[in-house]
Amino acid sequence: MRKGRWGRAFRRIGGVAGLLLLWLIFSSVRMLRPVTVVIDPGHGGKDPGASGKLYKEKDITLAIGKKLYALLEKDPLFRPVLTRDEDVFVELVKRADTANKLKAQFFISIHCNANPKKDVMGSETYAMGQHKSEENLAVVMRENAVILMEDRHQEVYEGFDPNSEEAYIIFSLLQHAYLKQSLRLARKIEDKMVHITKRPSRGVRQAGFLVLWRTSMPAVLCEVGFITNAQEEKYIGSAEGQAAIAKAIHEALRQYLAAGEP
């Protein structure tokens, strides 16, 4: 009887050890599987975005996007994908669809900010949500206006008018399923921007960006700096500045994964 009891005990231990071994193997496979990150350089082609004295937004965002792609490609944790790798026009809906079809874990849209006040500077990162100020509304209206260049935009975006304040009141009531995760990633990006680029952060914000609304994963839109500020335009237009911005986003992604948060 004692012998039978010990036998059952050993079998139970063996079963637990087997389950533990399977869990370790499964975890290792998950760790080896790279995380897909869709990098979205804003604007492009017939849509130049905002313009400064030296650069166009579409050129800066593409340069930063390529530098971020190169960093992530060398990192075994990630599998980067660009929504555009040249100066071409890509509809907002297609940018989001790229991420959705790949079942990406993250979507990062890169943009440059603009302001009539030439002394305004600093980065800010947005998640899909309700705009809290007229300033946020002005930013999102400018970025969403690109859909007017798209064919069938009335049909694709369900009659949404990017120039109507009333449309944003209704649109802002929509909740993004990954809002908490998006805000968490946005916070890490802004913290890294300050630490690495040594420039001020204007904080984490929410607004109704169409390109974020269409995504089905944590998604953020990074306004990396003001192209209308002469000093900041030179920085975000330089190879050094672009490399620092790409590094900040890369390190923020690594920090997010290291935290093990859903």
d(CA 243, CA 226): 17
Output the pLDDT for position 118.
96
The DSSP bridge partners found for residue 81 are 38
Output the pLDDT for position 28.
47
* Pairing of β 219-226 and β 106-113: parallel
Alpha-carbon distances of 15 from 7, 9, 239, rounded to whole Å: 12, 10, 56
Rg (CA), the chain: 22
Task: Find the angle CA(142)-CA(144)-CA(150) to the nearest 5 degrees.
Answer: 120
Contact status, residue 65 vs residue 110, Cβ threshold 8 Å? yes
* Pairing of β 219-226 and β 123-128: antiparallel
Write out residues in the chain with pLDDT < 50, as ranges. 1, 6, 9-10, 13, 22, 25-26, 28-30
Structural tokens at position 87? 């100066």
Output the pLDDT for position 13.
46
58-94 pLDDT tens trace: 999 999 999 999 999 999 999 999 999 999 999 999 9
Output the pLDDT for position 131.
61
